[in-house]
Structure 1
């Protein structure tokens, strides 16, 4: 009988690694965004946009702009309240730096700042920052423009005032880390599909997608000196218009969708339903909770 070889290698306390916060995100990104391929790359955009949508659901944001730059970096700008920049009493750091660099830091845990919210609840935007080679945030708040810059999830500058403004909101630009993602090239149609969906789910909010990688003339032809490829999504009808959009290639059995709106007994959870029957035998059901597809 041959001897059975024993596995090599010790297993002791020295083998235990402790990865904290941002370091853990960079080491195991798929745990936070699903994967490091095309899907995960686009998920970065959705996480930042979700913060803007949360401002919209709270009643403070009407305009959201997403820009794909020529270098495939992304800018998300909204006209919400702007991430707070004052010093957090316990952590003795700017609230902006906390939100951008600490997992679990955010305004979605109390029931006053946001009654309803989506995203990763204090994890999303810090994950985006961690998985970006570079990130900058401009905050337009209280008459001033604030700026902080980051590399791989770590602040490399303090929060500083760089000007004055009458605007309000947050502008985040990030460069996905090419050492983490298998591709860093964004697909316009993929982003457009999700942003269109969000516009229907949040009636009255205007969402604009701009692609600076592609210029079009008045006839839609590519041209060097022309406007950027742009799509704007806006809905006054919300779910009813969404249903009509989804049914646009089918023959409806009634001209207007059935629309039902109400709340639970405690009057804390609003519910909306829109239905339209058509001649097709195939069901097409979409369900969402706080804008997240379920």
Structure 2
């Protein structure tokens, strides 16, 4: 092999930044170049709008799938600053938001929904769209800026007076990257419904303007929070063992955050326990899910022994014995969540497990003592199941 062939130096290194890097390896930023990736384009843009509502600066978010293959995300907040200046607390300027990675990710923490896959923000959507139009209504002026494949075609331009305030971003995914893939209304609806369950103050609508039979507007807003979530999950779970959904929310400085839990046992044998951290689904569980199970097992065991439903020689009820017919949602919102892995599928943090377990044990224990008839049905069923096994 010749020296020319094996020689490797700095001249062989290709440096890609910004939109070029995103377009070169799109799957690294949105997960895929299929339907999943298209949905992530929506979430990257919707993340900023949703967090405006959670911060109290906006009242609602509206998402639409347009007939020409585009998507539109609008909010009624104060509007993205068109030009960020020193000391401006309104966030990054419009061009920074749409062209710089992480500019739209925000500070994170318990008061935000972590919808962005890697915290990169709307610039990813911009780079992977054949066209993007941003409209800002701020301080009485309507501004518009257009992009093509991540590159600005015009500067932000004042086009007249504005009615109200807010930001609207419309984009058309690049078919050179995503081919013929289309966004699924059902998938987006499921995600935004879940987001609204986990954040009581959030109002978000989804409209399918592609439907030949007319628009399909759906608005998601759930004042009952995760209690409503459990009731929704229970619709196909058979008759409940007890009528009321057990639920509570508690703040604990030891884990620098809050925990919100709702649960109910139903007649089916299936277990339906879902866990979330900062509004991100954690399908692999983690310390919050383990703490929940620890707390339920401790509360049920204590009640069973107090009521002599367990003999002195019987072992404590383990966490593997409590799940038959159980529907539950465990949601923690932390200032500094410790996700294990880049995909956020599992939560870490030793303090979280102990805090959630204590909160669940105390609250469920109070409910069991205060509802003896319902408690007997729940605990008796669990004890009988443990003895069968």
Task: Compute the TM-score of the two structures, normalised by the length of structure 2.
Answer: 0.66
Distance in 2, Cα, partners of 1:272 & 1:129: 35
Deviation at 1:106, TM superposition (A): 3.3
Structure 2 unaligned blocks of 5 or more: 283-389
Is the CA contact 1:61–1:205 (under 8 Å) kept in the aligned structure 2?
Answer: no
Structure 1's 190 and 107: CA in aligned 2 closer, same or farther, altered over 3 A? closer
Distance in 2, Cα, partners of 1:57 & 1:99: 19
For 2:248, the equivalent position in structure 1 comes to 260
SS at match of 1:174: strand
Please give the per-residue CA displacement for 1:144-170, whole angstroms capped at 9, x wherever unaligned. Answer: 211111111111111111122241211
Q: Which runs of 4+ in 1 moved over 4 A?
A: 4-10
Whether 2:74 is the aligned partner of 1:74: answer no
For 1:190, the equivalent position in structure 2 comes to 187
Is the CA contact 2:113–2:280 (under 8 Å) kept in the aligned structure 1?
Answer: no
For 2:19, the equivalent position in structure 1 comes to 22
Structure 1 unaligned blocks of 5 or more: 217-226
SS at match of 2:101: coil
Which of 227, 237, 249 is 2:224 aligned to? 237
For 2:233, the equivalent position in structure 1 comes to 246
Whether 2:112 is the aligned partner of 1:116: answer yes
For 2:259, the equivalent position in structure 1 comes to 271
Distance in 1, Cα, partners of 2:255 & 2:263: 23
My pick for the range that moved more, 153-162 or 204-213, is 204-213
Deviation at 1:97, TM superposition (A): 0.2
Please give the per-residue CA displacement for 1:194-223, whole angstroms capped at 9, x wherever unaligned. Answer: 11111212224322211111143xxxxxxx
Deviation at 1:105, TM superposition (A): 1.7
SS at match of 1:285: strand
Is the CA contact 1:141–1:168 (under 8 Å) kept in the aligned structure 2?
Answer: yes
Distance in 1, Cα, partners of 2:105 & 2:140: 22
Structure richer in helix, relative to its length: 2
Task: Compute the TM-score of the two structures, normalised by the length of structure 1.
Answer: 0.86
Deviation at 1:171, TM superposition (A): 0.5
SS at match of 2:176: coil
Larger Rg computed on CA atoms:
2
Structure richer in strand, relative to its length: 1
Is the CA contact 2:48–2:105 (under 8 Å) kept in the aligned structure 1?
Answer: no
Is the CA contact 2:131–2:172 (under 8 Å) kept in the aligned structure 1?
Answer: yes
Deviation at 1:15, TM superposition (A): 1.6
Whether 2:141 is the aligned partner of 1:153: answer no
Distance in 2, Cα, partners of 1:20 & 1:34: 19
Which of 74, 79, 96 is 1:98 aligned to? 96
Is the CA contact 1:72–1:184 (under 8 Å) kept in the aligned structure 2?
Answer: no
SS at match of 1:195: helix
